[in-house]
């Protein structure tokens, strides 16, 4: 993790600040949401990418005037915002039941998130509520359109995917204001985050498309229906075998991976310009990693899914 911010220490301090019952429940939140197999997994190990929970810290090197306390406050707001966003999304999708205990805990998460953000910039105190509203509206629209197998464009995909990721922005943007960044640099920081969240989302939507399809929410198929007239006229139905054929006809999985790569490359370039070199290096590594997936997917449809499944099997067997 960042040399300035220890995610697990921040999370532990938040848990210790809670009343007795939510204090007992908080360590189980990641497991309750299906983000970790058990409550003993440290929060810092839940996600593969440091940027997911510690994005503000990765801009720290570009903000020499910002006190480490402000960075920690921004990271606290960010990680609580991200956890709340995952919870709301999975509850809305029916993947997680909103029990009374979970609901109470999330109320504390939201309160602490908003206090931390308000401590950085009082004018942004409601930013997460607006992000939640936009995210929920986008998720509802996405679910309806995908479940109806509505053909959609990459512009639709970009717009709805970005709207769902609103929680990724407020804390880092508040920190840029604390650092005295002008509008141009703040806009650049937002573009870095945009590239990161879309790069991660597009990659996940490729490797998880079959699971998404079983829930009626596969972007890959919707994008393919837009591009391939033959697929649109198909009367074969929409079982998984047919969906695989549609994707094989259109090559849309490789296009999605290539789009993810472009986003990571843009984030790497802009982050370097800002002076956030560690974030830039990570984004560039992600772009390079996608080179092989794009090439493999172009040669053999389903390559990325198979590589992801094999990697998951290896992790399970070898650890």
pLDDT one-digit tens code per residue, 164-199: 999 999 999 999 999 999 999 999 999 999 999 999
- 296 pLDDT higher than 80: yes
Question: Is 1 a residue whose pLDDT tops 50?
Answer: no
Cα dihedral 73, 78, 79, 85, rounded to 10, equals: 150
How much is the average pLDDT of 6-15? 95
pLDDT at 200: 96
Look at residue 3 in the predicted model and tell me its pLDDT: 45
Q: What is the mean pLDDT of the chain?
A: 90
CA distances from 121 to 73, 77, 116 (A): 11, 12, 9
Instruction: Show Cβ contacts of residue 2 under 8 Å, excluding neighbours closer than 6 positions.
Output: 50, 54, 57, 58, 60, 75
- pLDDT confidence bin for 229, thresholds 50/70/90: low
Q: What pLDDT does residue 314 have?
A: 42
CA-wise closest residue to 52 among 167, 155, 134:
167
Percent of the chain, pLDDT > 90? 69
Among 102, 101, 113, 81, smallest CA distance to 33 is for 102
pLDDT of residue 235: 45
Structure tokens given for 73: 């406050």
Q: Rg of the Cα trace of the chain? A: 20
pLDDT in tens, 53-104: 999 999 988 999 899 999 999 999 999 999 999 999 899 888 899 999 999 9
Residue 210 CB partners (closer than 8 Å, separation 6+): 218, 240, 305
The pLDDT of 213-239, averaged and rounded, is 74
Q: Tell me: the pLDDT tens digits for 304-315?
A: 999 888 765 444
Asked if residue 221 lies in contact with residue 148, where contact means CB atoms within 8 angstroms, the answer is: no
Asked if residue 10 lies in contact with residue 26, where contact means CB atoms within 8 angstroms, the answer is no
Residue 84 has a CB neighbour count (10 Å cut-off) of 21
The confidence score (pLDDT) of residue 105 equals 97
Residue 51: pLDDT above 80?
A: yes
Predicted local confidence at residue 237, as pLDDT: 56
The pLDDT assigned to 302 comes to 86
For the stretch 251-290, pLDDT in tens is: 999 999 999 999 999 999 999 999 999 999 999 999 999 9
pLDDT value at residue 312? 56
Mean pLDDT of the 136-143 span? 91
On whether the CB atoms of residues 190 and 162 are closer than 8 A, the answer is no
Measure the CA–CA gap between 267 and 287, rounded to whole angstroms. Answer: 10
| Phi, psi for residue 268 in degrees, rounded to 5 | -60, -45
Mean pLDDT of 144-156: 88
Give me the torsion for CA of 267, 168, 70, 76, rounded to 10°: -130
Residue with the two structure tokens 């997936």:
293
Q: Give per-residue burial for 284-306: e unless 16+ CB within 10 Å, then b.
A: bebbeebeebbebbeeebbbbbe
Predicted local confidence at residue 236, as pLDDT: 47
- State the pLDDT at residue 158: 96
């Amino acid at each position: 993790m960042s040399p300035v911010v220890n995610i697990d220490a921040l999370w532990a301090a938040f848990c210790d600040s809670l009343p007795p019952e939510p204090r007992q429940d908080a360590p189980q939140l990641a497991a309750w949401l299906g983000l970790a197999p058990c409550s003993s997994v440290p929060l810092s190990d839940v996600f593969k990418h440091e940027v997911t929970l510690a994005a503000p810290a990765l801009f720290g090197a570009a903000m020499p005037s910002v006190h480490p306390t402000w960075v920690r406050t921004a990271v606290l707001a960010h990680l609580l915002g991200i956890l709340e966003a995952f919870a709301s999304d999975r509850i809305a999708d029916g993947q997680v039941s909103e029990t009374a205990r979970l609901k109470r805990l999330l109320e504390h998460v939201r309160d602490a998130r908003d206090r931390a953000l308000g401590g950085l910039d009082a004018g942004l105190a409601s930013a997460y509520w607006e992000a939640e509203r936009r995210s929920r509206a986008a998720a509802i629209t996405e679910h309806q359109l995908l479940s109806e197998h509505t053909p959609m464009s990459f512009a639709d995909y970009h717009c709805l995917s970005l709207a769902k990721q609103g929680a990724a922005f407020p804390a880092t943007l508040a920190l840029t204001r604390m650092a005295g960044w002008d509008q141009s640099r703040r806009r650049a920081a937002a573009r870095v985050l945009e590239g990161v969240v879309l790069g991660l989302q597009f990659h996940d939507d490729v490797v998880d498309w079959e699971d998404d399809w079983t829930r009626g929410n596969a972007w890959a198929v919707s994008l393919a229906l837009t591009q391939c007239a033959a697929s649109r006229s198909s009367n074969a139905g929409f079982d998984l075998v047919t969906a695989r054929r549609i994707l094989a006809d259109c090559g849309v999985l490789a296009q999605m991976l290539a789009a993810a790569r472009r986003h990571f490359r843009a984030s790497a370039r802009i982050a370097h310009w800002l002076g956030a070199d560690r974030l830039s290096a990570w984004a560039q590594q992600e772009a390079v990693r996608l080179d092989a997936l794009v090439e493999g997917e172009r040669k053999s449809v389903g390559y990325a899914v198979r590589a992801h499944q094999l990697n998951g099997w290896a992790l399970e067997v070898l650890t």
